[in-house]
Chains A and B, each alone.
Chain A
Amino acid sequence: MKNHVIIEAKNIVTTFGRNVIHDGINFKIQKGEIFGLLGGSGSGKTTLLREMIMLQKTRAGQMLILGTDVQTASSKMAQKLRQKWGVLFQFGALFTSLTILENVTIAMREYTDLPDWLIEESALMKLSMVGLPPKVANMYPSELSGGMKKRAGLARALALDPKLLFLDEPTSGLDPQSARAFDELILTLRDTLGITVVMVTHDKDTIANVLDRFVILGNKIVLFEGTMELLKQTTNDELKKFLS
């Protein structure tokens, strides 16, 4: 069971109209890994992430998540898969009509039969874990700052204790101190709950300290796949830009 492949991308091709974004992307993500999707602006990192969570269709190729091809999964399978992962969007994407506490508890109320007190306590614990004070629980997203929205978004993504976590630029827009705390949190979650994390990031510190492995996208293909150590040995000028 070791080195269990959680996500596998096989020859992914994506096009927007005539514009080709990905032309044969391949990579594998192992269980318990913190995996990064790197690349310059417009290289299709977020698009790739959106394809993994079934928000976007690929033109060709297979995207296997937990052994299921998400592009052809039946709606029942898809619904099952969606409960196994948590997603943090770039700007939090909280439901503006719900309070922060309701935002975090909604999935628990909908998909589990946990007692109410436990749902509430778990939610408050998760808010505290991501570094939010308890007083925000009854506030609405519009009353929070961008960074706080992001933390609340992470708390919501963690609500169901997912085995798989997708993060879209988790540390952008956070102050350096909070960003490092965020990194710490991701590492702890991986070490304790054994979750697999896929993130799109530009943060040099996150790349160096948190990611186990990563791919660098560019020219519509995977330019590099591997660890930081491997990247340091590269002679490719384009890849060297990612070393700071």
Chain B
Amino acid sequence: MKKLPSLDVTQTYEGFSVSLQGVWVKESIQKLDLAFSTLTCKPKASYTFDLSGITDFDTHGIMLILHHTKKLEAQGCSIFKIGASESLEKLLSICELHYPKEKVEEKKELFILSFLENVGKDLFEGYKTLSSFFAFTGELTHFVIAAFFKPFTIRLKATLYHIEQSGAGALPIILLTSFLIGIVIAYQGATQLEKFGANIFIVEMVTISAVRELAPLLTAIVIAGRSASAYAAQIGVMKITDEVDAMSSMGFSPWNFLVLPRLFALIISLPLLVFFADIISVFGGMVIATTKLDVSFVEFIDRIKQTVALKHLIIGLIKAPIFGCIIATIGCFRGFQIDSSTESVGKYTTISVVNAIFWVIAVDAIISVLLTEMGL
């Protein structure tokens, strides 16, 4: 039978004799700690710890003994340890050697100071991010121009791979969302137009809003969610596993191998995706126009030819590569910001998507205002 862990104190004429017994392992620590707290210190007394009764021990038990004997020692008591078995003696001396001399304490600061510190840090971080983003876009522009002068340095295979992944792969979800958006605009418009008996105007409403604004914007948002995150995570993990460093040390520029293929892939595939989105969203509108407003497919298409100017389609398609450029640049930039911690992968991947979507919408707003002011 295992002996219950215990601690017996007897007073001798030399001082105190403390007999430790039983198993001194982590499971019995709580009880033993309590027993120790009854051990009061008489200044300058001598304590003899008899360790011969300890049947089993681990480092936690030993730390408990050390903790309390050190406390007694600090109060001027003299401590003797006797009767330890060979292995206990050995572990005891190792633990004593490595006993933490000072507590490692986290600095506690005034709330207002840490608040100011955090604000300052954030501001400085923001400034640093902004300047490194400018540096990134600058370098990117340099490599893009260089690539135009030496087209054979463009990694065609990688570019095609990314067109397939980010472009063709996104087609189903983009078709579905743009179809639904076409339905939504037409449906909302239909109830209003019906009141005025202006059923036929559904054509202009759906077609212009879809091809000029909604299809490009929606496509860009879907791609930002899909590809900005993917680019950031891919490049970030490559950074963590030192692949990026390995590349540069072998003379393969990460710009040519990682960034340009992704950038070109999105610049090429976004207008194509937008074109598909245009067709399908208008089709969605047509379906509602037929069922709700009795405007047949033929009437609808005839009306598009007569009243909807080609410029709306072209404006929508011109915006697409700009959005692609924004998404790829932000995705890659955030990817290169990822450092060695796994947490930063999640952080910068999220930021990349949020940034990309925000800038797509912001740039769309700017273009929209500019073009309208210019009378287009």
Contact = CB atoms under 8 A, between A and B. Distances in A.
Nearest to A195: B58
Given A118-B64, A125-B95, A188 B90 contact: yes
A40 interface: no
B94 interface: yes
Mostly, the A contact residues are helix
Contacts of A25: none
Interface in B36-87: 58-60, 63-64, 67, 87
Interface stretch (A135-143, A175-183, A204-212, A223-231): A135-143
Nearest to B33: A115
Contact of B104 (A113, A138, A188): A138
A31 B60 CA distance: 22
A11 interface: no
B343 interface: yes
Contacts of B340: 96, 142
A167 interface: no
A128 interface: yes
B363 to A, nearest CB: 35
A124 B29 CA distance: 18
B121 interface: no
A160 B26 contact: yes
A129 B59 CA distance: 11
B106 interface: yes
Nearest to A96: B341
Contacts of A235: none
A191 interface: yes
A114 B29 CA distance: 7
B98 interface: yes
B58 to A, nearest CB: 4
A134 interface: yes
B63 A142 contact: no
A170 B26 CA distance: 26
Contact of A114 (B30, B98, B100, B101): B30
A185 B26 CA distance: 21
Given A101-B104, A118-B64, A188-B90, 5 more contacts: A112-B29, A118-B67, A125-B99, A134-B101, A161-B59
16 contacts: A96-B341, A97-B341, A114-B26, A115-B29, A117-B67, A118-B63, A118-B64, A120-B104, A121-B63, A125-B95, A125-B98, A125-B100, A142-B341, A158-B59, A191-B90, A192-B90
